[in-house]
Structure 1
Amino acid sequence: MRAGKYAGLETELVSPPLRASLALYLGLLATTEVPADDLFVDAADLPQVLTATRLQQSPAEVPGSVSVLDRALIRASGARDLAELLRLVPGMLVVSDGNLTTVNYHGSNAAQARRLQVLVDGRSVYHPGFARVDWSDIPVAIEDIERIEVFRGPNTVSYGANALMAVINIITRLPHDTPGTRLKVTRGERGIADWYASQGEGWSSGDLRLSLSGWEDDGFDHDSEGRDARDDRRLNRLNLRVQQELDPSQSLDWQLALKEGTNQAPTSYERAAFPISFEPWEQDDEADVRARDYATSLRWNLERNPDHRLYVQGSLQHWERLREWRACEGQIAFSPQLYQLWSLSPRYVQLLGRNLRQGILTAPEGSAEQEALAGQVIGQVLATVDPATGTLAHSCGLINEDTRENRFDLELQDTISLSDGLRLVSGLSYRHDEGDSETHLGGTLDKDIGRAFGQFEWHLDRHWLLQGGAMLEHDSSAGESLSPRLALNYLFTPAHSLRAVYSEAVRSPDMFENDAQWSYRVRDLRPAALGRSEAWYFAHAQGSDDLEQEHIRSRELGYNGHFAELGLRLDVKLFDDKINDLISETLTLEEFMPTNDNSLHLRGAEGEADWQLSATDRLRLSYAYIQLDASHPKDERVSPRHSGSAAWLRDWGRDWSSSLIYYGADALNSYRFERLDLRLAKRLPLGSSQMELAGVLQQRLDDEPLGWSDNNYDERQVFWVTAELEF
Structure 2
Amino acid sequence: MSVETKKLFKASTAFLAVLAALSGTGLSELGLGLAMANPAGGEESIFLDDVPVVLSASRLSQPINEAPVAVTIIDRQMIKDSGAWDLSEIFRLVPGMYVAYHADPYYSADSTVAYHGMVTTTTSDRMQVLIDGRSVYASLFGGVNWSDLPIVLDDIERIEVIRGPDSASYGANSYSGVINIITRHPAETQGTMISMAFGNGRKESIFRYGGKSGALSYRLTASIREDKGEDDRIQRPTSAFTFWNLNKFDNKTIQNLNLRADYQVNSADTLEFQFGYNGGPREVGEYNNVSAISRRAENHFEMLHWRRALEGGGELSVQAFHTVERVYARLKDSDGVSDGDAILRRYDLEVQHTFSPFKNARLVWGGSIRYDQTYAPYYLGVGDNQYLYGDFPYHLRRFFGNLEWRARPDLVFNVGGMIENNTYTGTDTTPRVAVNWHMQPGHTLRLSHSRATRSPSVYEKTYDSYWRSAGFYPGLPEMQTERVKSSEIGYIGKYGNLDVDFRLFYDDYSQLIDVRNKRSAAGGNLNAGTAIMRGYELQLKAQLTDKTRLIYGLSGGGVKSDNVNGVVYSDSLPKYNHNLLLSHKINEQWSTSLAAYQVAKTKFNSTDFNPRENRAYFIDGNRRFDGRLNYQFKVGGKSAECSLIAQNIADARYFEYRHDNELPGRALRLNFRLDL
Q: Which TM-score band applies after superposition, normalised by the shorter structure?
A: 0.7 to 0.9
Which residue number in structure 2 is paired with residue 598 of structure 1? 529
Do structure 1's residue 552 and structure 2's residue 484 form an aligned pair?
Answer: yes
Show CA shifts across 1:254-278 (max 9, x none).
00010102221117995xxxxxxxx
Do structure 1's residue 469 and structure 2's residue 416 form an aligned pair?
Answer: yes
Q: CA deviation at 1:227?
A: 3.4
Alignment of 1:52-451 (within 5 A): 52-96=57-101, 97=103, 99-112=109-122, 113-189=124-200, 191-221=201-231, 222-223=233-234, 224=237, 225-227=244-246, 229-266=248-285, 287-326=293-332, 397-441=336-380, 442=388, 443-451=390-398
CA distance in 2, matches of 1:509, 1:487: 28
Of 667, 678, 686, which residue of structure 1 is paired with 2:627?
Answer: 678
Of 571, 576, 584, which residue of structure 1 is paired with 2:501?
Answer: 571
Of 502, 513, 516, which residue of structure 1 is paired with 2:460?
Answer: 513
CA distance in 1, matches of 2:227, 2:149: 16
Q: CA deviation at 1:543?
A: 13
Classify 1:13/1:107 alpha carbon distance in 2 versus 1 (closer, same or farther; 3 Å). Answer: farther
Show CA shifts across 1:212-263 (max 9, x none).
1122211111244333642112111001000001110001000001010222
Any idea what SS the aligned residue of 1:220 has?
coil
Q: CA deviation at 1:24?
A: 13
CA distance in 2, matches of 1:665, 1:24: 30
CA distance in 1, matches of 2:651, 2:547: 28
Given residue 275 of structure 2, which amino acid in structure 1 is its aligned partner? L
Answer whether contact 1:584 1:634 (CA < 8 A) is retained.
no
Q: CA deviation at 1:439?
A: 2.1
CA distance in 1, matches of 2:292, 2:177: 37
- Greater shift in the superposed pair: 590-599 or 220-229: 590-599
Which residue number in structure 2 is paired with residue 644 of structure 1? 578
Answer whether contact 2:436 2:446 (CA < 8 A) is retained.
yes
Given residue 349 of structure 2, which amino acid in structure 1 is its aligned partner? L
Of 2, 6, 9, which residue of structure 2 is paired with 1:8?
Answer: 6
Which residue number in structure 2 is paired with residue 705 of structure 1? 655
Which ranges in structure 2 are unaligned for 5 or more consecutive residues? 36-44, 238-243, 381-387, 467-471, 605-618
Which residue number in structure 1 is paired with residue 614 of structure 2? none
Given residue 632 of structure 2, which amino acid in structure 1 is its aligned partner? R
Given residue 449 of structure 2, which amino acid in structure 1 is its aligned partner? Y
Of 719, 722, 726, which residue of structure 1 is paired with 2:668?
Answer: 719
Of 504, 513, 518, which residue of structure 2 is paired with 1:583?
Answer: 513
CA distance in 2, matches of 1:204, 1:401: 48
TM-score under structure 1 length normalisation:
0.79
Which residue number in structure 1 is paired with residue 39 of structure 2? none
Given residue 342 of structure 2, which amino acid in structure 1 is its aligned partner? T
Classify 1:13/1:194 alpha carbon distance in 2 versus 1 (closer, same or farther; 3 Å). Answer: farther
CA distance in 2, matches of 1:5, 1:151: 27
CA distance in 2, matches of 1:606, 1:416: 34
Do structure 1's residue 492 and structure 2's residue 439 form an aligned pair?
Answer: yes
RMSD of equivalent CA atoms: 3.2
Q: CA deviation at 1:590?
A: 10
CA distance in 2, matches of 1:436, 1:671: 38
Any idea what SS the aligned residue of 1:84 has?
helix
Answer whether contact 1:130 1:510 (CA < 8 A) is retained.
yes
CA distance in 2, matches of 1:510, 1:557: 32
Which residue number in structure 2 is paired with residue 353 of structure 1? none
Q: CA deviation at 1:464?
A: 1.1
Larger radius of gyration: 1
CA distance in 1, matches of 2:166, 2:414: 13
CA distance in 1, matches of 2:366, 2:286: 42
Q: CA deviation at 1:518?
A: 11
Classify 1:183/1:592 alpha carbon distance in 2 versus 1 (closer, same or farther; 3 Å). Answer: farther
Classify 1:546/1:118 alpha carbon distance in 2 versus 1 (closer, same or farther; 3 Å). Answer: same
Q: CA deviation at 1:657?
A: 0.3
Any idea what SS the aligned residue of 1:705 has?
coil
Q: CA deviation at 1:81?
A: 1.3
CA distance in 2, matches of 1:23, 1:694: 44
Of 665, 672, 688, which residue of structure 1 is paired with 2:637?
Answer: 688
CA distance in 1, matches of 2:403, 2:3: 21
Answer whether contact 1:517 1:542 (CA < 8 A) is retained.
no
Answer whether contact 1:449 1:475 (CA < 8 A) is retained.
yes
Classify 1:637/1:136 alpha carbon distance in 2 versus 1 (closer, same or farther; 3 Å). Answer: farther
Classify 1:542/1:264 alpha carbon distance in 2 versus 1 (closer, same or farther; 3 Å). Answer: farther
- Greater shift in the superposed pair: 80-89 or 691-700: 691-700
CA distance in 1, matches of 2:216, 2:46: 34
Q: CA deviation at 1:440?
A: 2.5
Classify 1:27/1:236 alpha carbon distance in 2 versus 1 (closer, same or farther; 3 Å). Answer: farther
CA distance in 2, matches of 1:574, 1:662: 24
- Greater shift in the superposed pair: 233-242 or 629-638: 629-638
CA distance in 2, matches of 1:255, 1:42: 38
Classify 1:23/1:219 alpha carbon distance in 2 versus 1 (closer, same or farther; 3 Å). Answer: farther
Answer whether contact 1:638 1:667 (CA < 8 A) is retained.
no
Given residue 187 of structure 1, which amino acid in structure 2 is its aligned partner? F
Classify 1:545/1:509 alpha carbon distance in 2 versus 1 (closer, same or farther; 3 Å). Answer: farther
Which residue number in structure 2 is paired with residue 533 of structure 1? none
Given residue 8 of structure 2, which amino acid in structure 1 is its aligned partner? E
CA distance in 2, matches of 1:244, 1:434: 32
Which residue number in structure 1 is paired with residue 612 of structure 2? none
Given residue 61 of structure 2, which amino acid in structure 1 is its aligned partner? Q
Given residue 290 of structure 1, which amino acid in structure 2 is its aligned partner? R
Any idea what SS the aligned residue of 1:418 has?
coil
Q: CA deviation at 1:561?
A: 2.4
Answer whether contact 1:422 1:458 (CA < 8 A) is retained.
yes
Any idea what SS the aligned residue of 1:515 has?
helix
Answer whether contact 2:202 2:226 (CA < 8 A) is retained.
yes
Work out the percentage of aligned pairs sharing the same amino acid: 30
Q: CA deviation at 1:139?
A: 1.2
Q: CA deviation at 1:150?
A: 0.3
Q: CA deviation at 1:599?
A: 1.0
Given residue 548 of structure 2, which amino acid in structure 1 is its aligned partner? D
Q: CA deviation at 1:30?
A: 4.9
Show CA shifts across 1:641-684 (max 9, x none).
10020111100003100001110101244221210111001001
Any idea what SS the aligned residue of 1:100 has?
coil
Any idea what SS the aligned residue of 1:460 has?
strand
Q: CA deviation at 1:549?
A: 0.5
Classify 1:102/1:592 alpha carbon distance in 2 versus 1 (closer, same or farther; 3 Å). Answer: farther
TM-score under structure 2 length normalisation:
0.84
Which residue number in structure 1 is paired with residue 611 of structure 2? none
CA distance in 1, matches of 2:559, 2:521: 26
Q: How many residues align?
A: 613
Show CA shifts across 1:579-612 (max 9, x none).
1001246x36999888211111110110101111
Show CA shifts across 1:360-417 (max 9, x none).
xxxxxxxxxxxxxxxxxxxxxxxxxxxxxxxxxxxxx531111111111100000002
Classify 1:420/1:438 alpha carbon distance in 2 versus 1 (closer, same or farther; 3 Å). Answer: same
Any idea what SS the aligned residue of 1:635 has?
coil
Alignment of 1:522-537 (within 5 A): none
Given residue 84 of structure 1, which amino acid in structure 2 is its aligned partner? E
CA distance in 2, matches of 1:173, 1:293: 21
Q: CA deviation at 1:7?
A: 6.1
